[in-house]
Structure 1
């Protein structure tokens, strides 16, 4: 069975950047997704089409088809008084920040005096990605999965 819309796909992956540094991996816990519903980044999903169980391939995904380019407006300098209750602020710390767009994760990238610079971009924004993929399962999605827009069961979406 080939991967196409409304198939549930299980795959193992190792994600590396251009320098070959490992960023993420499934490590024996295959990821399940519902094809055609934007469950995974577009640059990877488009390369899964037509693959079958047992296929192994490398998907090169440009940043724009991955987590997007770095958006300068998501990098902001704020007073350290915004981090109440945090004893020591350090570069590299992550916080959940509330904005009019909902909750997103920001990372402290610079601290100068009372000013803290935070970056709200996805950690992999602006990064060209390389996925080593092995397809381990392909099946028809259930009506419920299609209705919900994601895979259920092992490796899928849990409520």
Structure 2
């Protein structure tokens, strides 16, 4: 099996393991900010995903396609290739009463700048950032946390393998670096 992995290239229905540093930058008043680090995934905490079913920006997957285990990568996704610009319609005011202790929330969680762990009507986990405390209501931002940023990735491909039937059926990685269902 190790010999197969040595030559396996990233393609649809492969499980890919990466280590990387993600830096972001933003264009404001026609001036690009210096990239600053927002996430590091090292060998202690690598990032695994099912190629072609990851939900990651399409350009991210396109730039990794065809690479093999052991290869380094370095690329930048412009805002429009990543998560786009913020959508004002995803800013929502909700009553604080919806975030009671009966629903598993406490007052400390409702501070401006915090991310609230939520679920949509289908039970899918999501998060929203608290933008402003409006007294009886809070303003939540449901935009992806990386909207409006250019994403700069520097990393290494640490594993490429065929996805199992179960992983393909469930649409995500199982085992040590994924879900356990």
TM-score band by shorter chain is 0.7 to 0.9
Corresponding residue for 1:110? 132
In the alignment, the residues of structure 1 paired with residue 52 and residue 119 of structure 2 have an alpha-carbon distance, to the nearest angstrom, of: 30
Contact persistence 1:32–1:154 (CA under 8 A): no
Structure 2: 5+ residue runs without aligned partners? 1-6, 26-33
In the alignment, the residues of structure 1 paired with residue 173 and residue 120 of structure 2 have an alpha-carbon distance, to the nearest angstrom, of: 29
Superposition RMSD on alpha carbons, in Å? 2.5
Contact persistence 2:54–2:172 (CA under 8 A): no
Which of 9, 15, 18 lines up with 2:22 in the alignment? 15
Alignment of 1:1-150 (within 5 A): 1=7, 2-18=9-25, 19-28=34-43, 29-85=45-101, 86-87=106-107, 89-97=110-118, 104-150=126-172
Post-superposition CA distance 1:53-93 (Å, at most 9, x none): 22111121233333343110111234444444544542112
Distance 1:143 1:118, change over 3 A: closer
Deviates more, 1:2-11 or 1:112-121: 112-121
- With normalisation by structure 2, the TM-score equals 0.72
- With normalisation by structure 1, the TM-score equals 0.80
Deviates more, 1:41-50 or 1:107-116: 107-116
Contact persistence 2:10–2:68 (CA under 8 A): yes
